[in-house]
Chain A
Amino acid sequence: MINQSLSMPDTPTSNTSPNGYRLVSIGQHAQILIEKEAIVRNTWLLLVLFFASIITLGSGTMAISPKEVVDVLLGQGDTMNQFVVKDLRLPRLLAAIYTGAAFSLAGCLMQTMARNRLATPGIIGIDNAAMAFAVSSIVGMSVSLAPSFMALAGAATATALAFGLAGGSGTRGYRFIVAGIGIGAIAGAVTQLLLSQVSIDVANSAYPWTVGSLSARDPFMVNTLSIGIAICVIGCLLFSRQFALLPFSDQVITGLGANIKHIRILALILCITLTGLAVAVAGPVGLVALVGPEIARVLSRYRGIPLISSALTGALVMMLSDLFGRTVLSPIELPVGIVTAVIGGPYLIWILVRRSSRSSL
């Protein structure tokens, strides 16, 4: 029963932080809460990522021991090793880390926004549109821009179209999702059309763009992506309090004094920037966006939305998938998109088929 004799609690003498958080006070006006568990979790993930990177840099047709890799990274080691590690493998490794982080972060944001674990940018057709644009540039059906730029343009166009057709954000943005699926279907059909019209050689050269691959990526795009990710991660950190409200119903969010439309548009912009840039580097490797956040969610008990952990797990998944694709059937190289599909596939089917009370996010 309700306690009838309520009184104000005794005024606490010190400001103790809530369970599981550490309070960082900077002067009088800044009190910032930091989740202890997240710090521990993300530190572990970073460590794993680092060690996996060392191993990745050492694996391939020419095996290099982890010690030698570290030597090279510290500026020592022989010229051959320097060349292989720094010039051949490092750019590819960075591309994998960046794209994995970008896809996964975007996936986590969109899943949260749509409150559905299947709603990732790839599945609602943004990847497809980017792919269609990139392929059109390769098969010479459009202005001769580099495919990576076309991919970026494609992602932007698809989102703008979906947003326009959906007529604003709507309830839970579900029209946006369906509009995206529709546009994705058209883009897929157009890609098939383009590929069926050209000679087999041209079609083969466009192939990486249809499955997603990390070999010989545009270094300029990789650099752009790294800057984009840095900005988006900062954005996510700055607005994490607002994003944490997204799982509530619209009325609750408004009731708590937050502007639901602004939050959603902001999240959407971050999503699209990340997905667009990542597709421009690696092509459609959308399943990372599904798997990365899921691993992050398993690792973290609920405390807000595991955005940063998603980025880290995504990077890890992408890197290991690429390593697997490079080495398992060597000298044949499996495109990373296919490896992630093979890894993500069974997992996806598991989500679809298992009986779960947590059917929604």
Chain B
Amino acid sequence: MQSWFLKSPAQRPLFAVLVSALFVLALCCLLSLLFGAGGLTPQASLQTLFGNGSPDDEFTVFHLRSTRTLIGLFVGLTLGIAGALMQAVARNPLAEPGLLGVSAGSSFAVAMALVMGASTATLTVGIAQLGALIGCICVLGAARMQGQHNDPIRLVLAGAALSSLLLAMTSLILLFDQRAADEIRFWVTGSVAGRDTHTLMSVLPSMLVAAACVLYTAKPLASLALGERVAIGLGHKPRRIRGIIIIAVALLVGGATAIAGPVAFIGLVVPFAARALVGPDIRRTLWLCLPLGPIIVISADIISRLVAQPTEMPLGVLTAIVGAPVLLLIVRSRRLPTL
């Protein structure tokens, strides 16, 4: 029936794969509204969706769960795209905001802001994005300067080192402020529960900027994948492209982190899956990352609600458990430096 699926990834029609992915995404969203911890059964949720529920049920489905789904959608979208962009810029399939310390930079900045007494959502978002930017520049700059982009492992090590440093710094600040420590304890786990749409709204403008950056750079990025010199030969300006991408990644990761806390590995798993489905061309994978990110985050969120009932398993823990094996898988496939 779906004979296109048997073709090699790079030959599959993008449109068909994309439509199927969107269909799966819609299904995930529906399931996310239907299932959850607490007493509400899926049947009752379904009835509520059709308008026959009690006010309590309506609150659960339309307020709690829909917000949560929306935030999952957003986080998946941003982190998936950020991962794909970062991998393209670093030319390294292991480049991932969480592993490379970008999320940690963001957490550090947020902790800093909390200690300084920040509370308004906008401020936190801006600060998280700034932290992400600094983390991004540190790790990619280090990788480029030492010519490490040929060695994926070194980049990951640099990222791990940077992360551990930033985490220690975060602990340091929290040592001085009990209130912030208490507040951030839940936040650093990475979760899409209990966040409100208000934060989401405050992130939107910067997301539009990021989207514009991505649209502007998608084409040059594809030629950058062939190597810096080739890109220059084709008339692009690699430095500028890279700069714009780094800003976009910082905006995306900072936004996602401000909302959901540091959620690792999404940026690794999503582009990996996208490449497996439609081949390595960045213009194709970016499109597919759009639905794949939310699919993975929302399904991980559904599972996290179900496995540890009545409590919940934070999303960040689950993605780490899912993502680490993918990391190994990538390393084990011997074609490492070929991105």
Spell out A's residues near B (CB within 8 Å). 116, 118-119, 122-125, 165-167, 174-175, 177-179, 181-186, 188-190, 192-193, 195-197, 200, 203, 210-211, 286-287, 290, 334-335, 337-338, 341-342, 344-345, 348-349, 352-356, 359
Contact = CB atoms under 8 A, between A and B. Distances in A.
B185 A123 contact: no
A193 B321 contact: no
Interface in B311-339: 311, 313-314, 316-317, 320-321, 323-325, 327-328, 331-332
Given A200-B182, A211-B171, A179 B328 contact: yes
Interface stretch (B8-16, B151-159, B225-233): B151-159
Interface in B102-120: none
Q: SS class of chain A's interface: helix, strand, loop or mixed?
A: helix
Nearest to A342: B172
B165 A174 contact: no
Nearest to A174: B153
B156 to A, nearest CB: 6
B265 A185 contact: yes
A156 B196 CA distance: 42
Interface of B: 94, 98-99, 138-139, 141-142, 145-148, 153-154, 156-158, 160-162, 164-165, 167-169, 171-172, 175, 182, 185-186, 188-190, 264-265, 311, 313-314, 316-317, 320-321, 323-325, 327-328, 331-332
A106 to B, nearest CB: 15
B326 to A, nearest CB: 9
Nearest to B320: A189
B324 A186 contact: yes
Contact of B175 (A122, A124, A181, A334): A334
14 contacts: A116-B154, A124-B160, A179-B327, A182-B327, A185-B320, A188-B320, A189-B317, A193-B314, A193-B317, A196-B186, A334-B175, A352-B141, A352-B162, A359-B147
A3 B138 CA distance: 52
Contacts of A185: 98-99, 264-265, 320, 323-324
Contacts of A344: 165
B157 A119 contact: yes
Given A178-B94, A178-B331, A190 B168 contact: no
B331 A179 contact: yes
Given A192-B189, A211-B171, A353 B331 contact: no
Given A174-B153, A200-B182, A338 B171 contact: yes
Max chain B Cβ within 10 angstroms of own Cβ: one of A124, A344, A352: A352
B321 A178 contact: no
A338 B142 contact: no
A132 to B, nearest CB: 11
Given A177-B153, A181-B327, A192-B314, A211 B168 contact: yes
A196 B141 contact: no
Given A185-B99, A197-B311, A190 B153 contact: no
A115 to B, nearest CB: 10
A34 B260 CA distance: 58
A345 B171 contact: no
A119 B171 CA distance: 22
Contact of B146 (A348, A349, A359): A359
A192 B168 contact: no
